[in-house]
Structure 1
Amino acid sequence: MRIPAVASVLSGAILTLVSAFLVAAPPAAADSGTTWLCRPGQSGDPCGGRSGAPIDCFYVYPTASLEQSTNADFATSAELRTVAGMQAGPFDADCNVWAPVYRQVTLKALFNPPAEGVAAARDLAYQDVVNAWNDYLANHNGGRGVVLIGHSQGTRMLRSLIRNEIDGKPVRAQLVSALLIGGDVLVAKGSTTGGDFPTVPACTEVAQTGCVIAYSSFTRTPPANTRFGRSPATPDVSEVRGTLPYGPGYEVLCTNPASLRDNADAPIHAVVAGREFDTLHARCTTGDGPHVLLVEGPGAGLLPAVPDQTWGTHLLDTNLAQQDLVDLVAAQSLAYQRR
């Protein structure tokens, strides 16, 4: 049987996400100590550089750095530009994208952690994100609504940022939504809040604002040792220490961007390299097992799990429902402006 086009192209996207373009990246603009990978009006901006949208997007990219240290530096490297273009670029149609460079934990440290672990390295990365967020609010936001967008390590940074710097603060009123993909957002069991965020709920309506969309994608039932979909039993010291909940009173939030009210099976629309594919459908799993977005349809089973089945289709989390996410941001932007 011939591999369906969607599987072939989406599998190719995995290679793009883990490889660097062999081209020189133009320098990113810096002000107030922040190096911006993406910012409105920037020449050669991998996120598009739009500056006329009524709202902003603040994007924190996933683990992508190919540097050989534990923490990356502030270089706007080719691999960062690649992943930003694929994940954040499509949102440029609806928002002005701001994306700070932060000293993230590198791919090398993720798969071969140093003897002392990476907790301190996570703390350093998180502080960079906080500093960039404060710079953005003080010098660039101008009172506009903002969508937070993260994936993987970026989502874990934003979980702590919302918990520590946004929820319960005046800036909470400017939160259009948060797309926290591939990072296990926690809620109280049977609730849409009460985990990571006391007052920022899961999105249950297309035009709802001030809410969170979160999921991790799999094309088959996650294995028992899955990396995603279960509340951690102990404090997660691989993240920013002491800021996030854990234990049996919580569950991982899964919101199907194509079926927010019920999280039921619905068509999803993948976007890779500017091409849209509409052969897939997805639903959120429930019950006592892992809570993940289960993706099915022609070619879904052929999508590789990288580096193994415990990760699911983690590298394609955003791409698999990207048009649905873009459409949601457009609807939420309109609702926020009307409000």
Structure 2
Amino acid sequence: MPTRTRANPARPLLLVVVAACLAVTACSSGETTTAAPSTEAPATTARPAPSIPPYTSEVYADPAHWLCRPDLPDDVCHQDLDATVVHADGTLEVQRHVANPDAPIDCFYVYPTISADQSPNSDLVPSDAEKGSVLTQAARLNSQCRVFAPVYRQMTLPALLGSVPADRLAASQVAYADVLDAWRHYLANDNDGRGVVLIGHSQGASHLNRLVREEIDPNPDLRSLLVAAYLIGSTVRVPDGADVGGDFANIPLCRSQDQIGCVVSYASFRSTSPPPANSFFGRVRGGDGVAACVNPAAPAGGRASLTPYFATGDWVLPGAGAARAITTPFVTLPDLLDAECVQRDGFSYLEVFVNRDRAGRRAQDITGDLTPEWGLHVVDVSIAMGDIERMVGQQAAAFTGAPPR
């Protein structure tokens, strides 16, 4: 059995909040299995094979430049992902995470701005922070898909903060070129006609927005492979009152758990702290339309309970001493959070409600805020990780014709 190491999966994400300025500048628009899964795809519902030209990347042909691949049994996505459920009455229950080595679809994940390299672009050596982002935002999806997560030369935090001189447009181009290179290598050498989910946050979501807009949306063959795109913490532009148009001419927003070939996007704010006039998220910054908002817990609309997964002890404020009894790397709190997509005061966003327990039998709140204009950007994905995982499973079933896992 491979030796597991436990990273600190959440503390590095504090840096993501600062990095969200990318969305304002260059980016606005059960038990874990340890067996090494095969890279050969299990059979799924027959579909016409899309035409994918041959392509080999000099960079991404090297497994060292992937944080997750199904043929890397010791990668970030094969670490301990067990969680402790803290019920409303304060009782604890260990929930084992079970990876699926025969997952019928793939997930292609691009992480947010997290590199502290002292240069305009990061190098291709993954830091603990980059690994931590993958662990908290994508690894759980291995229950539903084979996860591919490339290392890429993203625009760094120092470049965004101005502590390193940088041409931000040029740095963003370098980062996107890596994402595109990794995507084309994956398509030509690993996809084999399988459905694929794209998922990214902040800078990662903005690069995937461009990838969908330029590579997938205009190409019927590639659209036929798209199970869904989760573009979180960055703006996807749609016409007001419509689900298609704006950034994408052919790909609509998702409006049911099992809809495929569609997009999920949102930026989250507390109900008690809606977006201020200078908010970094929740509105478009060029052209007509509004920011898309799709709640993965209720794609059709309305208020629904979220299923969060937080790193233990980092983002959840402990209550009733429960934190001392939690030994799993993750924690989930049923019915602590509700959310609903709303349009208000020129913003479109995911409004998050915290259902506090006056008896104090468990955590009364979550952390993840800095100043009001950031909203809950740092925990955009964590607050709905369970809902994203479940929705991906429903979409995988709809795509392949197999029963949901």
CA distance 1:276–1:301, change in 2 (3 Å): closer
CA distance 1:76–1:31, change in 2 (3 Å): farther
SS at match of 1:140: helix
How many residues in Structure 1 have an aligned counterpart in Structure 2?
302
Pick one of 140, 162, 176 that aligns with 1:126: 176
CA offsets per residue over residues 96-131 of structure 1, 9 Å max, x none? 000111110111112226555411100110011111
Does the CA-based 8 Å contact 1:41-1:51 persist in structure 2? Answer: no
Letter in 1 for 2:284: S
Does the CA-based 8 Å contact 1:18-1:79 persist in structure 2? Answer: no
SS at match of 2:242: coil
Correspondence for 2:232: 181
Correspondence for 2:299: 260
CA offsets per residue over residues 34-61 of structure 1, 9 Å max, x none? 1211111213211228642110000000
Identity rate, percent: 41
Q: State whether structure 2 residue 281 is matched by structure 1 residue 231.
A: no
Correspondence for 1:269: 307
Report the alpha carbon displacement of residue 18 of structure 1 after superposing the two structures with TM: 3.5
* TM-score (ref. length: structure 2): 0.71
Q: State how 1:29-40 maps to structure 2 within 5 Å.
A: 32-34=58-60, 35-40=65-70
CA–CA distance in structure 2, aligned partners of residues 46 and 297 of structure 1: 31
Report the alpha carbon displacement of residue 319 of structure 1 after superposing the two structures with TM: 0.3
Correspondence for 2:318: none
* TM-score (ref. length: structure 1): 0.84
Task: For CA contacts below 8 A with separation 6 or more, give which structure has more relative contact order.
Answer: 2
SS at match of 2:115: coil
Letter in 2 for 1:303: T
Correspondence for 2:341: 284
CA–CA distance in structure 2, aligned partners of residues 143 and 115 of structure 1: 43
CA–CA distance in structure 1, aligned partners of residues 9 and 365 of structure 2: 16
Pick one of 10, 15, 30 that aligns with 2:11: 15
CA distance 1:204–1:92, change in 2 (3 Å): same
Correspondence for 1:62: 112
SS at match of 1:72: coil
Alignment RMSD, CA only? 2.1
Does the CA-based 8 Å contact 1:14-1:315 persist in structure 2? Answer: no
Does the CA-based 8 Å contact 1:159-1:185 persist in structure 2? Answer: yes
CA–CA distance in structure 1, aligned partners of residues 384 and 9 of structure 2: 14
Q: State how 1:109-124 maps to structure 2 within 5 Å.
A: 109-112=159-162, 117-124=167-174
SS at match of 2:154: coil
Does the CA-based 8 Å contact 1:38-1:99 persist in structure 2? Answer: yes
Give unpaired runs (5+ residues) of structure 2.
Answer: 1-7, 16-55, 80-99, 312-329, 357-363
CA offsets per residue over residues 70-112 of structure 1, 9 Å max, x none? 1001012211111101111110111000011111011111222
Give unpaired runs (5+ residues) of structure 1.
Answer: 1-11, 20-29, 233-245
Q: State how 1:74-89 maps to structure 2 within 5 Å.
A: 74-89=124-139
Correspondence for 1:303: 367
Q: State whether structure 2 residue 191 is matched by structure 1 residue 135.
A: no
Q: State whether structure 2 residue 221 is matched by structure 1 residue 195.
A: no
Report the alpha carbon displacement of residue 289 of structure 1 after superposing the two structures with TM: 2.0
SS at match of 1:147: strand
Pick one of 283, 287, 290 that aligns with 1:251: 290
Report the alpha carbon displacement of residue 140 of structure 1 after superposing the two structures with TM: 0.7
Correspondence for 2:206: 156
CA–CA distance in structure 2, aligned partners of residues 139 and 32 of structure 1: 13
